[in-house]
């Protein structure tokens, strides 16, 4: 048979057969049959040398073209088979995405710790250093040095857990600190101005526990002492804190209040988030939520630690922490915070 005819036949047969190839294995068989070392096409190409120059030209051209054509077709077929197989595999691997994920243990920081961290970091950014003090204190630091000597009415009015222990050799008595303010004194005893510190910590008050009162709660104290610090700095610093913590849209109000270790004394309140100052149940009807007590450090406190109150001045502030998540999340009973109920704690 004429070689050219053979080539034509081969071409028709190969393409026809390729149409029917459905798997990678079949395709390999096809490749061996039509493009393999022992295939007819390879034979023809090998035999070209035996042909006349004239024939070699024509047959060579046709058979090489066929080889290239078959190789290209093989490549295409391979690709389409692969796509088909992938598509099949994908359809087999499809999942019910509505099934729950594999549970991964989830832990949370305590809501009070979260609030404390946030507050501390705002003051840290304003140059205040975080310090901590002892939870069991001497009355000397808790009262005497904070302008509450033994017979001061404010001291009598403070509900204190006293420790059942004899006074030390200086006549100081031990107590559970009623506020974080003793660290004002402890810090000023060790450092000279400029001072900027915040003191987070747990404090105790001798008070029956109910939905709005705890005998143990968290406080954060702040103190800044330097030359030229005035009430304008107090207002500015605390205003900036409120702006960052409560948001710029909440108004802030300062009013006169009394704490024995500051003079003048001030209380800062923020506008109630719910009623925006109109008065509602959350804020007890007056539109404002008390956030902290503050004031200019009392000259007697400065003089007590040997800081010249005519040269230096400072401000101090203290706030209870529990109220903040309490109001933020609308918690109805403050006892939940230290009640260890995971159903409560996991929500924050």
Partner 1 sequence: MKCSLKWLRRYVDINEQPEALAKRITLAGTEVARVDVVGGWDNVFIGQIAAVGPHPNADRLRLATVCLGAEQMEVVCGAPNLAIGDKIAFARAGAHLIDGHSGEKIVLKPNKIRGVLSEGMICSEIELGLSKNHEGILVLPPDAPLGQKLSDYIGDVIFDLEVTPNRPDMLSILGIAHEVAALTDAAVREPNLDYMCCVRSINESVSVEVRDAELCPRYCAGLVTGVKVGPSPHWLKEALAAAGIRSINNVVDITNFVMMEYGQPLHAFDYDHIGLGKIVVRRAAEGEILMTLDGVERRLGADMLVIADPNRAIAVAGVMGGATSEVTDGTTSVLLESASFKAASIHNTQVCLKLPSEASARFERGIRAELTLPALRRALQLMVELCGATAADGIIDHYPGKKEAVPISLTTAEIKRILGLDIPMSQIEKTLMSLGCQTKSMTDDSLEVTPPYWRSDLRIDADFIEDIARIIGYESIPSRLLSGEMPQQNPEPKLVLRQNVRRILAGFGFQELITYALTNRSTLEKGLGKELPFEPLRVEHPMSSEEECLRTSLRGNVLSALSANIHREEGSICFFEIGHVYLPKTGDLPHEPEILCGVLTSTGAEKVWLGRKEPIDFFDAKGVVEGLFAQLGAKAEFQVSADIGLRVGCQASIMLQNQEVGLLGAIDHKVAQGFDLPANTFLFEMDLTQILTYSHGSARYEMLPRFPVVTRDLALILGSDISHKQVLDIIKGFSLVKKATLFDVYAGKQVSQGKRSLAYSLTFQSSEHTLTDAEVDRVLDAILHKLQSALGATLR
Q: Rule CB under 8 A: which of 155-174 touch partner 1?
A: 156-157, 161-165, 168-169, 174
**Least gap, CB of 333 to partner 1 (angstroms):** 16
What part of residues 56-95 is at the interface with partner 1 (CB under 8 A)? none
Q: Which two tokens stand for residue 226?
A: 């330097």
- Interaction of residue 241 with partner 1, rule CB under 8 A: no
Q: Among residues 73 and 126, whose Cβ is nearest to partner 1?
A: 126
Among 43, 55, 71, 227, binds partner 1 (CB under 8 A): 227
- Interaction of residue 131 with partner 1, rule CB under 8 A: yes
Is the distance from CB of 282 to CB of 327 less than 8 angstroms?
Answer: yes
Is the distance from CB of 213 to CB of 177 less than 8 angstroms?
Answer: no
**Alpha carbon distance 240, 298 (integer Å):** 23
What part of residues 310-329 is at the interface with partner 1 (CB under 8 A)? 313
Q: Among residues 60 and 264, whose Cβ is nearest to partner 1?
A: 264
**Least gap, CB of 127 to partner 1 (angstroms):** 5
The CA-based angle 285-275-246, given to 5 degrees, is 110
Under DSSP, is residue 36 helix (H, G, I), strand (E, B) or coil? coil
The CA–CA distances, whole Å, from 271 to 243, 268, 277, 285, 320 equal 11, 10, 5, 12, 17
Q: Are strands 252-256 and 216-227 parallel, antiparallel or unpaired?
A: unpaired
Q: Among residues 11 and 322, whose Cβ is nearest to partner 1?
A: 322
Q: Among residues 10 and 297, whose Cβ is nearest to partner 1?
A: 297
Per rule CB under 8 A, count of chain residues that contact partner 1: 88
What part of residues 248-307 is at the interface with partner 1 (CB under 8 A)? 253-258, 260, 263-266, 296, 298-300
- By CB atoms closer than 10 A (0-12, 13-18, 19+), residue 295 is buried
Nearest to 263 by CA among 321, 302, 222: 302
Among 230, 282, 328, 329, binds partner 1 (CB under 8 A): 230
């Amino acid at each position: 048979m004429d070689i050219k005819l053979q080539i034509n036949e081969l071409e028709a047969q190969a393409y026809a057969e390729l149409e029917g190839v459905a798997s990678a294995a079949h395709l390999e068989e096809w490749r061996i049959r039509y493009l393999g070392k022992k295939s007819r096409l390879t034979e023809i190409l090998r035999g070209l040398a035996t042909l006349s120059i004239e024939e070699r030209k024509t047959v060579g051209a046709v058979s090489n073209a066929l080889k290239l054509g078959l190789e290209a077709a093989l490549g295409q077929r391979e690709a389409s088979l692969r796509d088909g197989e992938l598509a099949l595999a994908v359809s087999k691997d499809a999942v019910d995405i509505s099934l729950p994920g594999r549970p991964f243990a989830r832990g949370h920081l305590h809501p009070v710790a979260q609030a404390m961290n946030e507050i501390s970091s705002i003051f840290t950014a304003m140059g205040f250093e975080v310090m901590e003090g002892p939870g069991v204190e001497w009355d000397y630091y808790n009262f005497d040095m904070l302008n509450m000597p033994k017979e001061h009415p404010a001291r009598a009015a403070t509900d204190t857990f006293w420790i059942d222990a004899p006074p030390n050799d200086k006549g100081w008595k031990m107590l559970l600190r009623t506020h974080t303010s003793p660290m004002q004194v402890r810090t000023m005893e060790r450092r000279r101005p400029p001072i900027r510190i915040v003191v987070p910590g747990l404090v105790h008050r001798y008070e029956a526990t109910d939905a709005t009162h705890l005998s143990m709660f968290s406080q954060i104290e702040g103190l800044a002492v330097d030359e030229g610090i005035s009430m304008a700095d107090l207002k500015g610093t605390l205003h900036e804190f409120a702006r960052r913590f409560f948001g710029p849209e909440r108004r802030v109000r300062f009013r006169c209040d009394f704490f024995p270790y500051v003079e003048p004394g001030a209380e800062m309140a923020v506008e109630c988030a719910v009623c925006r100052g109109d008065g509602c149940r959350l804020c007890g009807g007056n539109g404002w939520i008390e956030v902290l007590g503050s004031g200019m450090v009392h000259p007697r406190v400065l003089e007590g630690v040997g800081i010249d109150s005519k040269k230096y001045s400072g401000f101090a502030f203290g706030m209870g922490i529990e109220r903040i998540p309490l109001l933020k999340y609308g918690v109805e009973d403050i006892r939940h915070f230290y009640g260890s109920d995971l159903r409560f704690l996991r929500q924050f």
